[in-house]
Amino acid sequence: MNHRNSRYTLLIMLLLLACHTACIGQSKSTDKRFAQAQQQTRLMLREIEKAKHQEAGAVVSPRTLSASGELELVATKDWTSGFFPGSLWYLYEQSQDPFWLEKARAFTAPLEQEKVNGRTHDMGFKIYCSYGNGYRLTKDPHYRSVLIEAAETLATRFNPNVGAIRSWDHNADKWDFPVIIDNMMNLELLFAATRLTGDSAYYQIAVSHANKTLKNHFREDNSTYHVIGYDPANGQVLKKNTHQGYSHASAWARGQAWGLYGYTMCYRETGNKAYLWQAEKIAAYMLEHPNMPADLVPYWDYNAPRIPDEPRDVSAAAVMASALYELSTYSQRGSVYRAEADKVIRHLSESYTAPAGGAKGFILLHSTGSKPHNSEVDVPLSYADYYYLEALLRKQKLMNRHKLF
């Protein structure tokens, strides 16, 4: 072997050793983050029992902390009710500990009544995050039946004249038929129903909604409106607004993250390159925005007027990170997306986590629910924790060269 080949072989060996060492370090770091999440969630379970004795009504899941620092629980009808059960399923998936399986089943069960609640579009958030993860991990036939019935209920909100699923029934004074970017997240339940039943009707509704949103929700720069108001009789666009963003022309941070996640998921389910390209465009808008902080934890709105003196939205960062991990498996820019997701997770884990034994058991701090309504500003939120755990799982699977789905 000549000297040139020897040097080349040595270089390759050193690079492989460096990669191996880095992977071991990342694996240990991810294990540590899951251990911290388990510790916090055990605390949360104890705090939930205390709070249930103090709150009136049938409350089942944690949502946030009050201004006085008390744990706020919600009933099953609340759009956030499925996230804590989903977090428990993720802890079980990562650990295979029967303790988390038992708790996941216990917190999932009360949500079954929501499968027939046709007054909301948030069926995916409530049922797919809970029963969907449960079915994926256990193949429980009862979970399957709940998912199918929930999808049937969600499908009743589809208007063929509009070609989309109605979002809110409230705010009727503002919109006759509102469709919000968040609603992209509920399409996963419909895709799942087609796989479970063989009935393509659910798939067709999901595709129609995704196409309509792609046509009308996005501006030329690939930022998204929050709410599009349609005429239910003919599908004409009547209004383009925000509800939780800074202004009608601004880019609400979590809305951008919903769009990124939603179109990445739609590409997975359909193979339609238009959805992949849209996800890539949304990612570029977010990652290249001049108001995106160096740690990639966005302000609550990319156009908020007092940046950098504006609240961050950790929930938007967690959703973005999870979506970027999946997008990295489909795109030619995969290595870039994965590196950016790693960066988000590192900063969330190092700078935005609750202290051990603090925040009543929430994992992450500094999310923003609705700044215009002065609601849930700079607080922990259950959906931030859910998507953070999902992102950690996806990171771990990629490190271990496992398929995400």
Q: Which residues are catalytic?
A: 122, 182
Asked if residues 237 and 229 have their Cβ atoms less than 8 Å apart, the reply is yes
Asked if residues 402 and 362 have their Cβ atoms less than 8 Å apart, the reply is no
Asked if residues 286 and 348 have their Cβ atoms less than 8 Å apart, the reply is no
Residues 6+ apart with CB under 8 A from 283: 260, 323, 324, 327, 337
Task: Report residue 161 CA to chain centroid gap.
Answer: 29
Rounded distance between C-alpha atoms, residue 296 and residue 336, angstroms? 14
Residues 6+ apart with CB under 8 A from 284: 222
Rounded distance between C-alpha atoms, residue 1 and residue 10, angstroms? 12
Rounded distance between C-alpha atoms, residue 218 and residue 215, angstroms? 7
Extract the runs of DSSP E, i.e. beta strands, from 193-321.
Answer: 227-230, 237-241
**DSSP-derived 3-state class of residue 33:** helix
**C-alpha closest to that of 43 among 348, 385, 390:** 385
Asked if residues 354 and 69 have their Cβ atoms less than 8 Å apart, the reply is no
Rounded distance between C-alpha atoms, residue 156 and residue 296, angstroms? 38
